[in-house]
Amino acid sequence: MGILNSLFGKQRFEETAAVADADVSAAKPIHVTDATFEEQVLQAELPVLVDFWAPWCAPCRMIAPVVEDLARDYEGRAIFAKINTDENVQVAGSLGIMGIPTLIFFKGGREVDRVVGFVPRRTLESKLEALLD
């Protein structure tokens, strides 16, 4: 830290560290696998939005920041999860995922809504609000 303080000044380094710490504490989607899906999604006490995606999928990369923003905005009211369909084919297959991104809304362990493809944030918000009522 002595080198960083001398290069950037103590105050500047401390401000940067504080911002980094704040980002870490912000709510983010959890990463779910075939092995953890039942526990983290189906047994969850809160409603869950699950984003089925793959790294090569351009629309998946477009919707990812929207899901991350919603996770922060709905912290404590809903859970947001991501499942890589290339690595977790069992859950994706059992739910009939035919295209990605697919976002499935769960409440009480049951699927209550589904969206396939990129959609605007307001579409996801309206579906989330319906789950929370």
Helix (H) or strand (E) holding 102: strand 102-107
**Coil, helix or strand at residue 27:** coil
Catalytic option among 44, 57, 78, 124: 57
> 127 CB contacts (<8 Å, ≥6 apart)?
105, 113, 115
pLDDT band at 117 (very low <50, low <70, confident <90, very high): very high
> pLDDT at residue 93 above 70?
yes
Catalytic site includes residue 48: no
Name the DSSP letter for residue 1.
-
Q: How far apart are CA 84 and CA 56, in angstroms?
A: 10
What is the distance between the alpha carbons of residues 71 and 128, in angstroms, rounded to a whole number? 11
| Candidates 41, 44, 49, 60; catalytic one | 60
Domain with residues 27-132, CATH architecture: 3-Layer(aba) Sandwich (3.40)
Q: Per-residue confidence at 65, pLDDT binned at 50, 70, 90? A: very high
Is 67 marked active-site?
no
pLDDT tens figures, 11-45: 444 444 444 344 444 689 999 999 999 999 999 99
**More confident site: 79 or 11:** 79
Amino acid at 98: M
Note the pLDDT of residue 20. Answer: 39
Answer whether 0.85 is exceeded by the pTM. no
Residue 26 is predicted with a pLDDT of 60
Positive or negative, the Cα torsion across 110, 113, 115, 120?
negative
